[in-house]
């Protein structure tokens, strides 16, 4: 669809991304999902087209990118219908921004070039077994001991958790509440760090883990920002994460729509194509309507961010709008496919299994509503 927000530069990047996804991801998406992982070499290939560097400082190998370039990246990746690949391949977009924004210069110079070149993998570790989005009450403890912090605790549901080389970890360095939270960069080879792989409903190709920190000694220079300032950095990170998720979910919904339309034109029942049955046509129009509304809301919010605004309430609502659109379209697509939609291998079936992780990750629908209402002064 034509949009006034995209320039020739955006269009050129879209074409490059589309060719990359069609060659390097789509043909293997089902195989990788069944295997529960994708080749590490994909990170380097993604770095080769500039995908991993989008929005990061150029001095570390990044590429200047506005909100719309990031939308293009998320939505072209989604065309493969493989959320697990997108999640792990792009885990650095939530793991590395705090490093770029607040780590010491020498740490940035050491870590970011390795991540943006695809040689190393970055992940974010906030969620704990005893609490998810309740960041202010996390329990993992980092005790200062000379020129090191000693870290003890657990993190869970960590995307890229099994093979991440750099972990941006939320820890408690002070007292209770948000003021006691800090961020530490912990390297994957740190003694005392162990990992347990988790099996999931969807996102099979994305490695997800529980991390165990047993008296891990972390150099004090790996502190990201100042002690007690971690909560603020995490909240800033959430807005970007939610916009990325909203872009991807809207695109996954469109993939379901496109796949359902193609099938409805080909499949015949009662002597005519499915698409000629009024009930199917109505389902498709309902899907298209929700996708168009979500895309319009997404692009308008991106424009507002480009103007320097910080529409937190609307971003929370956008995430819910996009995940609900994805859920609706995935369900309707599987219904249109009938029995074929219950079989593994088609995009709609895979996306249907991935609906809930998007409605939960980055803040549940309930939390998004509560945050939005507070921003509205309620």
For the segment 222-271, what is each residue's pLDDT rounded down to a tens digit? 999 999 999 999 988 888 999 999 999 999 999 999 999 999 999 999 99
Q: What is the pLDDT of residues 296-348, one digit of tens each?
A: 999 999 999 999 999 999 999 999 999 999 999 999 999 999 999 999 989 99
CB contact at 8 A, 208 and 161: yes
pLDDT digits (tens, 9 = 90+) for 94-123: 999 999 999 999 999 999 999 999 999 999
Write the secondary structure of the chain as one string of H (helix), E (strand) and C (coil).
Answer: CCCCCCCHHHHHHHHHHHHHHHHHCHHHHHHHHHHCCCCCHHHHHHHHCCCCCECCCHHHCCECCCHHHHHHHHHHHHCCCCHHHHHHHCCHHHHCHHHHHHCCHHHHHHHHHHHHCCCCCEEEECCECCECCCHHHCCCEEEEECCEEEEEEEEEEEECCCCCCEEEEEEECCCCCHHHEEEEEEECCCCCEEEEECCCCCCCCCCEEEEEEEEEEEEHHHEECCCCCHHHHHHHHHHHHHHHHHHHHHHHHHHHHHHHHHHHHHCEECCEEHHHCHHHHHHHHHHHHHHHHHHHHHHHHHHHHHCCCCCHHHHHHHHHHHHHHHHHHHHHHHHHHHHHHHCCCCHHHHHHHCHHHHHHCCCCHHHHHHHHHHHCCC
Q: What average pLDDT score do residues 26-33 get?
A: 97
pLDDT confidence tier of residue 130, bands split at 50, 70 and 90: confident
pLDDT of 131 strictly over 90:
no
- Position 165 confidence tier, pLDDT thresholds 50, 70, 90: very high
Mean of the per-residue pLDDT values for the chain? 96
Catalytic residue numbers?
241
pLDDT for res 133: 72
pLDDT score at 336: 97
pTM for the complete prediction? 0.95
Could you give the CA distance from residue 329 to residue 334 in angstroms, rounded to a whole number?
9
What is the pLDDT, as a whole number, of residue 364? Answer: 93
pLDDT number for residue 248: 98
Question: What are the beta bridge partners of residue 234?
Answer: none
Number of other CB atoms surrounding residue 299 within 10 Å: 19
The per-residue pLDDT for 259 is 97
pLDDT for 1 beyond 70: no
Q: What are phi and psi of 70, to 5 degrees?
A: -70, -35
Q: Work out the percent of the chain whose per-residue pLDDT is above 90.
A: 96
């Amino acid at each position: 669809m034509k949009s006034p927000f995209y320039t020739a530069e955006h269009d050129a990047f879209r074409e490059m991304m589309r060719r990359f996804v069609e060659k390097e991801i789509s043909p293997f998406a089902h195989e990788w999902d069944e295997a529960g992982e994708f080749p590490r070499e994909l990170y380097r290939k993604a770095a080769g087209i500039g995908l991993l560097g989008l929005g990061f400082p150029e001095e570390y190998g990044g590429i200047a990118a506005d909100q719309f370039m990031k939308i293009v990246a998320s939505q072209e990746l989604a065309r493969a219908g493989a959320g697990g690949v997108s999640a792990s391949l792009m885990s650095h977009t939530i793991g590395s921004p705090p490093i770029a924004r607040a780590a010491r210069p020498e740490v940035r110079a050491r870590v970011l070039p390795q991540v943006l070149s695809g040689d190393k993998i970055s992940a974010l570790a906030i969620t704990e077994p005893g609490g998810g989005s309740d960041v202010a009450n996390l329990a993992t403890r980092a005790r200062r001991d000379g020129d090191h912090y000693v870290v003890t605790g657990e993190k869970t549901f960590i995307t890229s958790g099994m093979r991440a080389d750099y972990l941006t970890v939320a820890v408690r360095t002070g007292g209770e509440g948000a003021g006691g939270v800090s961020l530490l960069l912990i390297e994957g080879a740190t003694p005392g760090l162990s990992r347990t792989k988790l099996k999931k409903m969807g996102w099979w190709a994305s490695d997800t883990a529980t991390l165990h920190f047993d008296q891990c000694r972390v150099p004090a220079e790996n502190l990201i920002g100042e002690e007690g300032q971690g909560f603020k950095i995490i909240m800033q990170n959430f807005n970007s994460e939610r916009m990325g998720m909203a872009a991807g979910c809207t695109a996954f919904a469109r993939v379901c729509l496109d796949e359902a339309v193609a099938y409805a034109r080909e499949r015949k029942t009662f002597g005519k194509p499915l698409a000629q049955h009024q009930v199917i046509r109505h389902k498709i129009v309902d899907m298209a309507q929700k996708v168009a509304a979500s895309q319009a809301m997404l692009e308008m919010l991106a424009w507002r961010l480009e103007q320097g605004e910080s529409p937190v309430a609307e971003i929370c609502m956008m995430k819910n709008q996009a995940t609900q659109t994805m859920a609706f379209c995935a369900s309707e697509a599987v219904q249109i496919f009938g029995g074929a939609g219950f079989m593994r291998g088609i995009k709609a079936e895979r996306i249907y299994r991935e609906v809930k992780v998007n409605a939960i990750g980055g803040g549940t629908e309930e939390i998004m509503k509560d945050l939005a209402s507070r921003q509205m002064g309620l």
